[in-house]
Amino acid sequence: MPKVLIPTKLDKFAADLLTQRGYETILDGTTAMEELIKQHSDAEALIVRSEKVGPEVIDAMPNLKLVVRAGAGYNTIDIKYARKRGVDVMNTPGANSNAVAEEVVAMILAAYRHVLPADASTRAGDWEKSKFMGHELTGKTVGILGLGHIGNLVVKRLSGFDVKVLGYDPMLSPALAEKIGVELCSVEKIFSEADCITLHIPENDETRGMISRRFFEMMKPGAILVNCARAGIINEEDLRAVKATKKIVYCNDVYPKDAAGPKSVADVADIMLPHLGANTYEANFNAAKRAAEQTISYFEQGVTNCVVNKALPDGLDAGYQKLAYALTALTHAYLGDTNNPTRIETSFYGKLADYAKWLIPPVVAAIAKDFAVEQGPKEAEQYLCDSGVELINRMVDNSKNYGESMTIDLFVGTGDAIVKAGARGTIAENTVMISRLDNFDKLYFDPAGHHLFVEYADEPGVIGRIAGILGEKNINIIDIRAPQNLKIGRSLSVITTNVEVPEMLVAKIKEAVNATKAFSFTFLG
């Protein structure tokens, strides 16, 4: 039977269950991980919590086949390098969710009732009752960014407080949001109207530093901000600059590194805990049980449902996954990022029809920041199901001679208010190429880089006005595409720029040319 190394303080249930099944299991949460790997480099499976698993760890274990993260987030594991070395990486989604949700509520209550300073004051012999006048959570407005496992449970745990819940999640359907008691809205509305805001989004290239000065300045005076997600999504310098004037109450449980030592956020955090979110006996047991069960199912039955870095099937060019991602992301931006899809329809032409299920993960990842392209088809379909989004893969007519191309359509709204937009594209000369966006054909546009999209009534001189405004801000134009649709009397300018066009400048351009749509779009490929 395989050898399993668990170099972390994980509930012993995992080791006991694995040992009972005949696995040679080493559970050691005190010895340094590097030393344990040297001693047990022949292990075929590695179960970790927040430990970093990079190339040096993977290379030091030549027999390694599986890494299991006993928890949801796997940003500490180099999943791409693991895939390159033929190592599957799993997580155990949902195992820690309730623990984190309860911690969020605990931090909000502690902040509102001054629990920590009042405790210290009373222990010191003081009686400062008037100093610690607090607030009640009941009747407040709570904003939640990210309504996955944890965000959904926060809604449930808050239900007894009769709060109004505002939520932002680009994948949650309006019908499902209404069912769980959440008003879907923009991030801007949450930061401007909520009394308490809690973050439950991942840290990645799109979200790093996302919570920045413009959002802090929108907050109500004295509003509470809770971060039990990831440290990098907060711009600490911006929080530091605004905190005093807005009297923001900041509760934090996440750091760049889980280790002893000074913390950069100490001067702006009103409550700071040592990453206790999943640190309950129940969560530790749940994660341990799930990790052991998944390891057993993997080796004995070949079950890979929770693998987050699945390889592409033979015969599918990875470029087509990039294409699916780009088409979906662009269509979502065209409809408006705050408009959650209720239905997704896909058409895969030529040989791509054989790989349809493998092209769904990038479609989901383009809209949902907490879903990775590397996750598998079953996980993508389940994610859509859990979000209340219908998925339809249409039959195609290959007599149209579209070759290996695809069309992705998104639908938002319900009933008579449904709005649809879509995009078509292919791979040409090893380059992602978008040929159509909504009603505009013959676009032939490479989405790599920074772009400005402006849709307007077809008339002379518009492109010149846009170029002039960009030039005033020293933004260089690299390429311009301007397809027309004479049937509807509209034009679409797609302007590739050397830098991302700021939101304020996009708004200025939209007003200057009386555009119906104007947005920036960046695709890093």
Please determine, for residue 338, whether its predicted confidence score (pLDDT) is greater than 80.
Answer: no
Determine the average pLDDT of the residues in 471-480. 95
Nearest residue to 265 (alpha-carbon basis) of 245, 248, 246: 248
Q: What does each C-alpha distance from 420 to 16, 433, 439 come to in angstroms?
A: 53, 21, 11
Strand arrangement, sheet containing 24-27: 24-27, 3-6, 45-48, 66-69, 88-91
Angle at Cα 94 formed by Cα 93 and Cα 96, nearest 5°?
A: 110
CB 199 within 8 A of CB 226: yes
Q: What is the DSSP letter of 53?
A: B
Determine the average pLDDT of the residues in 458-480. 95
pLDDT at residue 312, as a whole number: 83
Mean pLDDT of the chain: 94
Please determine, for residue 175, whether its predicted confidence score (pLDDT) is greater than 90.
Answer: no
pLDDT at residue 380, as a whole number: 92
Sequential DSSP letters for 279-321: -SHHHHHHHHHHHHHHHHHHHHH---TTBSSPPPPTT--THHH
The predicted-structure confidence for 51-95, as pLDDT tens digits, reads as follows 999 999 999 999 999 999 998 888 889 998 999 899 999 999 889
The dihedral sign for the CA sequence 239, 243, 246, 251: positive
Please determine, for residue 310, whether its predicted confidence score (pLDDT) is greater than 90.
Answer: no
Domain extents in the chain: 3-95+281-301, 97-272, 319-523
pLDDT at residue 337, as a whole number: 76
pLDDT at residue 401, as a whole number: 76
pLDDT at residue 254, as a whole number: 95
- What is the Cα–Cα distance from 488 to 89, expressed in whole angstroms? 50
* Of the options 3.30.565.10, 3.40.50.300, 3.20.20.70, 3.30.70.260, the CATH number for the domain spanning 319-523: 3.30.70.260
Instruction: Specify whether domain 3-95+281-301 bears CATH 3.40.50.720.
Output: yes
Q: What does each C-alpha distance from 418 to 186, 218, 326, 353 come to in angstroms?
A: 19, 31, 23, 27
Determine the average pLDDT of the residues in 286-303. 96
Sequential DSSP letters for 434-448: EEEETTB----B---
Read off the pTM: 0.82
475 vs 306, more confident = 475
Please determine, for residue 118, whether its predicted confidence score (pLDDT) is greater than 90.
Answer: yes
Angle at Cα 106 formed by Cα 103 and Cα 111, nearest 5°?
A: 125
- Are domains 97-272 and 319-523 of this chain identical in fold? no
Q: Which of 45-49, 241-245, 311-315, 322-326 is predicted with the least confidence, judged by mean pLDDT?
A: 311-315
490-497 and 249-252 strand pairing:
unpaired
The predicted-structure confidence for 185-242, as pLDDT tens digits, reads as follows 999 999 999 999 999 998 888 889 999 999 999 999 999 999 999 999 999 999 999 9
pLDDT at residue 398, as a whole number: 81
Q: What SS3 state is found at 78?
A: coil
pLDDT at residue 384, as a whole number: 94
Nearest residue to 158 (alpha-carbon basis) of 211, 94, 112, 210: 112
pLDDT at residue 73, as a whole number: 81
- What is the Cα–Cα distance from 51 to 258, expressed in whole angstroms? 9
User: What burial class does residue 227 get, using C-beta atoms within 10 Å of its C-beta: 0-12 exposed, 13-18 middle, 19+ buried?
Assistant: buried
pLDDT at residue 466, as a whole number: 96
Share of the chain above pLDDT 70, in %: 100
CA contacts within 13 A on the Cβ side of 484: 9
Domain 97-272 superfamily per CATH: NAD(P)-binding Rossmann-like Domain (3.40.50.720)
477-481 and 490-497 strand pairing:
antiparallel
pLDDT at residue 195, as a whole number: 98
- For residue 81, the one-letter residue type is Y
Please determine, for residue 375, whether its predicted confidence score (pLDDT) is greater than 90.
Answer: no
Helix (H) or strand (E) holding 411: strand 405-412
The dihedral sign for the CA sequence 384, 385, 388, 394: positive
Question: pLDDT grade, residue 9 (50/70/90)?
Answer: very high
Q: What SS3 state is found at 497?
A: strand
Crossing angle for the helix pair 13-20 and 281-301, to the nearest 10 degrees: 20
Please determine, for residue 339, whether its predicted confidence score (pLDDT) is greater than 90.
Answer: no
Determine the average pLDDT of the residues in 494-498. 96
pLDDT at residue 413, as a whole number: 80
CB 20 within 8 A of CB 46: no
Determine the average pLDDT of the residues in 157-180. 94
Q: What is the DSSP letter of 417?
A: G
CB 355 within 8 A of CB 313: yes
Question: pLDDT grade, residue 2 (50/70/90)?
Answer: very high
